[in-house]
Amino acid sequence: MPPEAAQAMGPDNPGPPDRVTLDRVRACLGAGVPAGRNDEDSVRRQWWAALATLQSDCLLLRPDQGGVWLAAPLPALYEPQLLARLRGWVWAPPQLETLLSAAPPLLPGAGGRPMTLASGFERLPLEPDDGTDPLLIVITPSLQVALCLDGPSAGRRLLVRFEPSVLSEALGLIHARLAAGNAASAERLEEAMRTLGSLQNDPQLGLRFWPQLADRLAAMAPSVTLQPLAQRSHGPPEGDVSGELALLEALTHEVRTPLATIRTLIRSLLRRRDLSTVVRQRLEHIDGECSEQIDRFGLIFLAAELQNRPGNGSHGTGVEQELARTDLSALLGQLEPLWQRQLSRRGLELQLAISADLPPVLSDPARLETMLGGLIDRFSRSLPSGSSVRLRLQAAGPRLKLQLDSTAAGPAAAGGGDPDGAPVRAVGPVLSWNPTTGSLQLSRQATQRLFQRLGGRLTERGGSGLTVFFPIC
């Protein structure tokens, strides 16, 4: 983007005298673009795919760059690394202002003032005529892009604009909006733009962005409904789970994205020094619950993907090629405090016993950490409050044996989620559901497959806990 984009934010370019709505900004971005032909479901999938492409395939590949971002009606960015280094402005609905005003001084920004969080973005009021379609503009030294949704119910469209002239006009409108309603925020945005210096958009960005977006969309369901699962019954009983995979991928985006945003906001609040002990404990509880659910949905999606792509080596996901020496003893020690906190929220206790001087195993420590957390969650979810979860690691010939069992406080059987005789119903080869607890979790088959890809071998017997064997290096 040429320097005139930043100049559009300056006082010599105040924009039109009438108040600028965000719908007007969307109209600016949509000028000259053909009308849309999508319904709400399809355009929302495009939006989530575009956000994932922008963040994972574009912004995260530029780790040393700062910048600014503007979004409505809620934060669109959800990657913590981006939120930490980019400065943002978010137009949020007035209902959030009511919540803030009802609980001072717990949340900053009450009483009509912009909410400036430690994560680096300000909350601004969303007016009734601003519209509620999502909008995101990101400006960094080498990447400038605007995304939004607009159009009537039968003609929805995703807009992605890289052109300097279009972005300059949109930024000029936003500056006029801020200058008319909050001069201090306008000055901060103008200063942030000046600090970026000369801007130059990556000329290959558009050429890469659309194929990457198409790749993400290709694996997603044509409609977020149960129809693909019903159609699957006419095919192979367990080998074809493409419908389930597509549905889970769509649900993963829909669930993990807002949870990640909530977690970011919570962690910003936890940096405040004036929080009472009770408030801090409750915020930490919310943070932990968000993290658990984010990890659970990540594991569910990975399990569905592995089930849909059986085989090994080049025919699988490539996990086998990433296995390396892993100090399982140290990993368990590092994770013990986190697991203690997670289990304590359900009234459970963790007992960890690790034999001395154990050799390393062959696995993938990054994925193994998440997988072990998911295993403990799956194992303990059906245990009654007051029970103890026992985790033991010891040598077993050429392997290390990780054994998981429990002592129940009541008459319930051992954990594990689906031991023999437990009221668990299969939801395809990937998921199982316990109607007694309402818990949706990985099936035994999916859990075994995941551990196999991580170098382990899971054995599970009803009423006697779980055992995972890992090969010693």
pLDDT in tens, 298-354: 787 777 767 665 453 333 433 344 688 899 999 999 999 989 988 988 899 999 999
In terms of domains, do 252 and 324 share one? Answer: no
Q: What region does 168 belong to: left with phi over 0, alpha with psi -120 to 50, or beta?
A: alpha
Question: Same domain, yes or no, for 329 and 456?
Answer: yes
Task: Convert the pLDDT of each residue in 4-36 to its tens digit.
Answer: 444 545 444 444 446 789 999 999 999 999 999
- Tell me, what's the pLDDT at 112? 33
Residues 45-52, mean pLDDT to the nearest whole number: 85
Task: Report the C-alpha gap between 113 and 17 in whole angstroms.
Answer: 23
Which domain-ending residue is among 310, 335, 368? Answer: 310
Based on the fold, state whether residues 303 and 240 are members of the same structural domain.
yes
Domain match, 168 and 249 both? no
Tell me whether residue 222 is in a domain. Answer: no
- Is-cis flag, bond preceding 105, omega within 30? yes
Instruction: Say how many C-beta atoms besides its own lie within 10 A of residue 426's C-beta.
Output: 14
Establish if 467 belongs to a structural domain. yes
| Maximum separation of any 2 CA atoms in the chain, in Å | 79
Q: Give the confidence band of 249 by pLDDT, cuts at 50, 70, 90.
A: low
Asked whether residue 456 falls in the same domain as residue 343, the answer is yes
Question: Could you tell me if 206 and 238 lie in one domain?
Answer: no
Residue 303's domain comprises 227-310
Q: Where a domain ends, among 310, 329, 344?
A: 310
Residue 197 shares a structural domain with residue 232? no
- Tell me, yes or no, whether 303 and 323 share the same domain: no
Q: What is the pLDDT of residues 382-427, one digit of tens each?
A: 788 899 999 999 999 999 999 999 887 655 444 554 444 456 777 7
Say how far residue 40 (Cα) sits from the centre of its chain. 21
CATH code at position 435? 3.30.565.10
Domain assignment of residue 191, yes or no: yes
Number of structural domains, the chain? 3
The verdict on 160 and 268 lying in the same domain is no
Same domain, 48 and 169: yes
179: left (phi over 0), alpha (psi -120 to 50) or beta: alpha
More confident residue, 151 or 74: 151
Same domain, 265 and 204: no
Confidence grade of residue 181 (pLDDT, cut at 50, 70, 90) = confident
Domain boundary among 310, 334, 353: 310
Which backbone phi and psi does 106 adopt, to 5 degrees? -60, -50
238 and 198, same structural domain?
A: no
Domain assignment of residue 402, yes or no: yes
